[in-house]
């Protein structure tokens, strides 16, 4: 496996792999790899001849400098994991390779970037779509794989790829979960032990909403009230957002759910009372599937 740090070298390698008629899958990451990332590599291997993994903590997608500084960096062990998972290239550019001195070109997707994480983290998606465009131009992949835990990010990147005519298949990889149901995330490493055990509130809130919908609840307000109550049960948690949205357009769901509806959650966890852990924001989501017949007042 090769570690490549220069964009021009990666482009040359992409050209020669393509010239041999071989397919490249790219898995863009910011490192701190966990089994969720490795499942994205497996997804890539199923769809291409070579999987390349980029590891770059992208400064332009962090709206909070402390979050950027504190983001876990575990490069040596990441490289070992990538090697063991069967990828052939790690692209680990220095910042100047992606953002040359004086760079002032941005890629920005419109309305899909505005709600949810776009509203809580201004500029975040502009940073994501800009860096992902640069990674696409550097790696020239046939396929790119992104986790479905970042549901909105996946939607935004699909739209960007379509709008800019990138000839790249964008694939979503299923969210992997820890034994207690917490979605795997590099950010979990930054939670104190007490906050980590409270992080199950996200999946508990999701399961509660799923059960309510299965029992016939269709009121968006009632579903969101229950979600909020569940989150409040965790003393270190504070809700950033809990929203119901159309899974394709990300437009707000109607007051009575009438079809597949995205439940998207973002929750902040404060450091443990004894000072362990950092301030960490976790996200999770589920597409709720109301069946045809909603609950009525006579049921
Ligand atoms: O999902 C991530 O890890 C990042 O947002 C990505 C797609 C690698 C861009 O920096």
pLDDT tens digit string along 58-103? 999 999 999 999 999 999 999 999 999 999 999 999 999 999 999 9
SS3 labels along 120-153: HCCCHHHHHHHHHHHHHHHHCCCEEEEECCCHHH
| Eight-class DSSP state of 93 | -
Residue bearing the CA closest to ligand 1, atom 6? 29
Contact 210, 227 (CB under 8 A): no
Cβ 61 under 6 angstroms from ligand 1: yes
Q: Which residues of the chain does CATH 3.30.1300.10 include?
A: 186-288
Distance 103 CA to ligand 1 centre (A): 20
pTM: 0.96
Confidence of residue 110 (pLDDT cuts 50, 70, 90): very high
Q: Which residues of the chain does CATH 3.40.50.620 include?
A: 2-173
Confidence of residue 209 (pLDDT cuts 50, 70, 90): very high
**Nearest atom (ligand 1) to Cα of 147:** 1
Query: CATH fold of 186-288, please?
Result: 3.30.1300
pLDDT over 50 (residue 296): no
What whole-number distance in Å separates Cα of residue 170 and Cα of residue 249? Answer: 17
What whole-number distance in Å separates Cα of residue 63 and Cα of residue 126? Answer: 11
Query: CATH fold of 2-173, please?
Result: Rossmann fold (3.40.50)
Rounded average pLDDT over 278-297 = 81
- Give the tens place of pLDDT for each residue, 112-164: 999 999 999 999 999 999 999 999 999 999 999 999 999 999 999 999 999 99
Mutation pick for ligand 1 pocket among 153, 155, 157, 187 (CB with most ligand atoms within 8 Å): 153
Residue bearing the CA closest to ligand 1, atom 9? 128
Q: Say what percent of the chain tops pLDDT 90.
A: 97
pLDDT over 70 (residue 235): yes
pLDDT of residue 292: 57
Residue 2, Cβ neighbours under 10 Å: how many? 12
Is the Cα torsion angle 179, 212, 236, 242 positive or negative in sign?
A: positive
Mutation pick for ligand 1 pocket among 29, 38, 99, 282 (CB with most ligand atoms within 8 Å): 29
Rounded average pLDDT over 247-257 = 98
Cβ 128 under 6 angstroms from ligand 1: yes
Confidence of residue 298 (pLDDT cuts 50, 70, 90): very low
Across the chain, mean pLDDT equals: 96
Q: Which segments within 92-168 are labelled E, that is strand? A: 143-147
Contact 180, 200 (CB under 8 A): yes
**Nearest atom (ligand 1) to Cα of 58:** 10
């Amino acid at each position: 496996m090769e570690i490549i740090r220069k964009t021009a070298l990666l482009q040359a390698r992409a050209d020669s792999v393509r010239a041999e008629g071989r397919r490249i899958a790219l898995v863009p990451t910011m490192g701190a790899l966990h089994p969720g990332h490795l499942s994205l590599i497996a997804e890539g291997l199923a769809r291409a001849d070579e999987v390349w993994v980029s590891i770059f903590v992208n400064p332009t997608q962090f709206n909070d400098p402390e979050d950027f500084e504190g983001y876990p960096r575990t490069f040596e062990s990441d490289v070992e994991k990538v090697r063991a998972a069967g990828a052939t290239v790690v692209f680990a550019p220095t910042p100047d390779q992606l953002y040359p001195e004086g760079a002032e070109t941005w890629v920005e997707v419109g309305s899909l970037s505005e709600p949810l994480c776009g509203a809580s983290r201004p500029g975040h998606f502009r940073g994501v779509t800009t860096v992902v465009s640069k990674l696409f131009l550097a790696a020239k992949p046939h396929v790119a794989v992104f986790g479905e835990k970042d549901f909105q990010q996946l939607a935004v990147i699909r739209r960007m790829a379509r709008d800019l005519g990138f000839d790249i298949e964008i694939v979503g990889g299923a969210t992997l979960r820890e034994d207690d149901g917490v979605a795997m995330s590099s950010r979990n490493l930054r939670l104190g032990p007490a906050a980590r055990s409270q992080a199950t509130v996200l999946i508990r809130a999701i399961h509660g909403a799923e059960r309510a919908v299965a029992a016939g609840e269709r009121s968006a307000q009632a579903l969101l009230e229950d979600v909020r109550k569940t989150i409040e049960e965790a003393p270190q948690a504070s809700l950033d957002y809990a929203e119901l949205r159309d899974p394709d357009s990300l437009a707000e769901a109607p007051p009575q759910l009438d079809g597949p509806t995205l439940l998207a959650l973002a929750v902040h966890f404060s450091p443990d009372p004894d000072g362990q852990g950092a301030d960490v924001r976790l996200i999770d989501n589920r597409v709720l599937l109301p069946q045809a017949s909603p609950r009525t007042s006579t049921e």
